[in-house]
Structure 1
Amino acid sequence: MSRINELFKKELKVVNIGITGFRDDLKSLKVPVIHVEFRPPAGGNTKLLSILKKLK
């Protein structure tokens, strides 16, 4: 049996980063999930991010 098939015999454990909808779907399926709140620095605005980097 291949190693990948062994993976599917184990309990699924998930770390979800950023998108709460994924977390909610996993929870509804009774999958253990840890959620990490994440948002891109400066909201993903590259101009604002370059300004913030200069402040360091």
Structure 2
Amino acid sequence: MANDSDIIVLKRELEDYKQRTDLAIRYTFDLLMTGDLSNQQRLMINQIKDSLSDK
């Protein structure tokens, strides 16, 4: 059975993981935006990026 300190450590690790994945998602979409894209493609990428950031 997990004790409080185990739960605190797990929560901290999950928060760190979420921050790293959020950063990776933003970086990936920023890299996509450096390509030769139409305005519509840029808008779609930004909308997807925003929807993922909201979660």
TM-score (normalised: structure 1) = 0.26
The structure, 1 or 2, with the larger RCO (C-alpha pairs under 8 Å, 6+ apart) is 2
Q: Which has the higher helix share?
A: 2
